[in-house]
Structure 1
Amino acid sequence: MTAPTRPELVADAAVTVLARDGLRGLTHRAVDAEAGLPAGSTSNCFRSRTALLEAVVVRLEELDRAAITAGPPPDLTSAPALAAYLTGNVRLMTSRRHVRTTRARLVLLLDETAGPAMEAGHHRFLAMLEAMLAEGGHPAPGPAARAVSDLLDGALMHAASVRSRTIDVEELAGAVERLLA
């Protein structure tokens, strides 16, 4: 595995700062300290707060994509297989291993300045999901992708924000299958 690039190192540190300290704590200086870099390093990579927030969103997507694609791809022609794949990824994203990225994502949802970056990330996820559904032969991949995304986002948000809530993968997979039908 190759060492992270400077922008990746800074973005990873920004995710940690955001998850730990919230939006007010996310400063270039705090990210420099978290990354163990000289003062001004974060600013050299991402000049503005908006650029830093966009980098966090992109880095979260990269980390999610790496986690999601670590296993074998699903059979896109099988609604149960696709549903199990997607809901398994929601369970993974809400696991203890991914608590930092999930907290950072929730904090970003509350920040109006992160809105455009979050919206762009959402559209990229929708496009990926729609392409999967189209490849699997779904008759209406666009509307189905939006419905499934809304369901999964809601499950992810509830599992991350309500301590007593856990992901029941079978129940969620059944709901995804019904949406795909």
Structure 2
Amino acid sequence: MTDRRQLLLDAAIRVLGTGGPRHLTHRAVDAEAGLPEGSASNRFRTREALVTGVFDRLVEVEALAWQRLAVDLPPGDVAAFAQVLGELIREFTDQRRVVTLARYALFVEAAVRPDLRPAIEAGRARLAERGEPLLAALGSTDPPAHFRMLLALIEGLLSNQLACPEDNFDPESAVAVLLRGFRAA
């Protein structure tokens, strides 16, 4: 990805994550990126192209997070996996809160725009390429199904913490319980 493209997409994520879908315009992205007016529309001719680019960038950001997760883990250690994933969940509700809110804004848009759903499915498939082997190494009896369950748990933890932040937020406990269940299933 070129530096300018990444700059524009990261700016679009900030616009989307702070203002929602209605604020995602080429002009708003240009302003957020600190680039001349017309920069975003030159790179992304339509709003749909911009939204697709944002989806791709969000998947890239999340795939890098899963990659980091894999690097930090000793093989087969459920407690370590739960700890690292819990830290990642906290990161996406704190320092990367805007990234998570942008992703949710696009999910809401996809609920009323079916043409966006293939991009979401492609993103999930890309994450599954990283996540399913991690679950297999932890003893999952059905890594594809269990990865979807883990994503559902993560989404619930993220959305609840974003909407009603808890001071004693403990995603590790929920993740650990689910992961131990994968071994028995």
Match of 1:180 in 2: 182
What's the TM-score, normalizing by structure 1? 0.84
Deviation at 1:9, TM superposition (A): 0.5
For residues 6 and 142 of structure 1, what CA distance do their matches in structure 2 show? 36
State the alpha-carbon separation in 1 of the partners of residues 44 and 130 from structure 2.
Answer: 27
Does 1:94 pair with 2:96?
A: no
TM (norm. structure 2) is: 0.82
Q: How do 1:78-157 residues align onto structure 2 when only pairs under 5 Å count?
A: 78-95=77-94, 97-112=95-110, 113=113, 114-136=116-138, 138-157=140-159
Percent identity at matched positions? 36
| Matching residue of 1:9 | 7
Alpha-carbon distance, 1:26 to partner? 0.5
**Larger deviation: 63-72 or 120-129?**
63-72
Q: How far off is 1:69 after superposition? A: 4.5
CA RMSD in angstroms comes to 2.3
How far has the Cα of 1:12 moved from its partner?
0.8
Q: Which moved more, 1:164-173 or 1:141-150?
A: 164-173
- Equivalent position amino acid for 1:130 in 2: E
Query: 2: CA distance between counterparts of 1:18 and 1:134?
Result: 35
The alpha-carbon deviation at position 74 of structure 1 amounts to: 0.6
Q: Write the mapping of 1:18-33 to structure 2, written as runs, cut at 5 A.
A: 18-33=16-31
Deviation at 1:58, TM superposition (A): 2.1
Which whole-Å CA distance do the structure 2 matches of 1:18 and 1:56 have between them?
Answer: 9
Structure 1: stretches of 5+ with no match in the other structure: none
Quick one: structure 1 residues 52 and 10, their matched pair in 2 at CA, closer, same or farther if it must change by over 3 Å?
same
Q: 1:166/1:117 Cα in 2 relative to 1: closer, same or farther (>3 Å)?
A: farther
| Distance of 1:42 and 1:101 partners within structure 2 | 19
> Which consecutive unaligned segments of at least 5 residues does structure 2 have?
none
Residues 1:38 and 2:13 are matched in the alignment: no
Give secondary structure in 1 for the equivalent of 2:73. Answer: coil
